[in-house]
């Protein structure tokens, strides 16, 4: 489902029926500016500085990852109180803990993320002491402008078996990194980020991405 945030009714939407949700104009320009300013203060770490992640995603450029400060995370978290998110998360049985894991990302020309389904712990934020399961993935874009020639689209796939029993991935969604938009989708689900084209020049694809997670008793 793709809809403007002002026209979206969270209570009428269910991730059980539609696993991909795109909300346009999710952030106000003021909220967008807040995150942009916060990104100038964050401590960035390049892909080349994260050995396990680099091995999981070779030849994906050298995109940057940064921590979200406590105050800015509060702004982010307060906007995520959508009933459809809570309804989906709480549909899983025997939950003992609920977790959020989100970071800033900055992609420049040549950067991408190869196909994966978010089940590989190599690219989790930390080596957590708990075993959390990713339930919903999120990416939202806070750059000021983005042209279609600049690439960086989020591609989401449907997986199926062909007649030979081999897994085949069919494109189900091609989501451009539209400023102030938000994309949510259920996990596991194969997806990738297209390479940012050289035509982007110095422009960077600025995003917040991560997961809503649950922890369960043994």
Mean per-residue pLDDT for 211-216?
96
DSSP structure class, residue 81: -
At residue 172, the pLDDT reads 98
Alpha helices in 26-118 (DSSP H): 29-41, 51-56, 70-79, 83-89
At residue 131, the pLDDT reads 79
At residue 156, the pLDDT reads 99
Mean per-residue pLDDT for 38-59?
97
At residue 217, the pLDDT reads 83
Mean per-residue pLDDT for 184-199?
99
Would you say residue 97 lies in a domain? yes
d(C-alpha 88, C-alpha 71), whole Å: 26
For residue 128, is pLDDT > 80? no
At residue 188, the pLDDT reads 97
Would you say residue 12 lies in a domain? no
Q: Which two tokens stand for residue 94?
A: 């025997």
Mean per-residue pLDDT for 206-216?
98
For residue 126, is pLDDT > 70? no
Would you say residue 141 lies in a domain? yes
The number of folded domains in the chain is 1
For residue 127, is pLDDT > 60? no
Residue 182 in contact with residue 140, Cβ under 8 Å? yes
Q: Which two tokens stand for residue 68?
A: 């979200």
Q: Cβ–Cβ contacts within 10 Å for residue 159, how many?
A: 13
- Residue 134 neighbours by CB under 8 Å, 6+ apart: 118, 119, 187, 188, 211, 212, 213
For the stretch 157-189, pLDDT in tens is 999 999 999 999 999 999 999 999 999 999 999
- Indicate which CATH number applies to the domain containing 142: 2.60.120.620
Report the residue count for the chain: 218
Would you say residue 132 lies in a domain? yes
Task: Locate the DSSP E strands across the chain.
Answer: 2-4, 20-24, 44-46, 64-66, 95-107, 113-116, 132-141, 154-161, 167-175, 182-186, 191-193, 205-216
Beta bridge partners of 169: 159
Range of the structural domain that residue 158 is part of: 2-7+17-216
Would you say residue 177 lies in a domain? yes
Would you say residue 71 lies in a domain? yes
Considering the chain, what is the average pLDDT of its residues?
A: 95
For the stretch 56-111, pLDDT in tens is 999 999 999 999 999 999 999 999 999 999 999 999 999 999 999 999 999 999 99
Would you say residue 136 lies in a domain? yes
Above pLDDT 70, what percent of the chain?
A: 95
């Amino acid at each position: 489902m793709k809809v403007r945030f002002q026209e979206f009714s969270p209570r009428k939407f269910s991730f059980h029926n539609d696993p991909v949700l795109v909300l346009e104009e999710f952030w106000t320009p003021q909220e967008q500016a807040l995150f942009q300013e916060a990104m100038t203060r964050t401590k960035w770490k390049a892909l080349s500085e994260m050995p396990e992640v680099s091995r999981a995603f070779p030849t994906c450029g050298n995109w940057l990852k940064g921590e979200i400060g406590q105050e800015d995370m509060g702004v982010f978290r307060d906007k995520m109180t959508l009933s459809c998110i809570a309804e989906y998360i709480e549909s899983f049985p025997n939950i003992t803990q609920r977790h959020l894991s989100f970071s800033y990302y900055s992609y420049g020309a040549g950067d991408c993320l190869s196909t994966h389904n978010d089940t590989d712990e190599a690219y989790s934020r930390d080596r957590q002491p708990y075993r959390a399961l990713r339930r919903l993935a999120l990416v939202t874009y806070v750059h000021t402008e983005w042209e279609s020639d600049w690439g960086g689209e989020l591609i989401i796939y449907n997986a199926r078996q062909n007649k030979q029993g081999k897994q085949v991935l069919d494109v189900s969604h091609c989501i451009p990194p539209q400023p102030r938009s938000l994309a949510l989708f259920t996990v596991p689900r194969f997806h990738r980020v297209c390479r940012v084209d050289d035509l982007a020049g110095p422009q960077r694809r600025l995003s917040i991405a991560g997961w809503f997670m649950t922890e369960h008793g043994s």
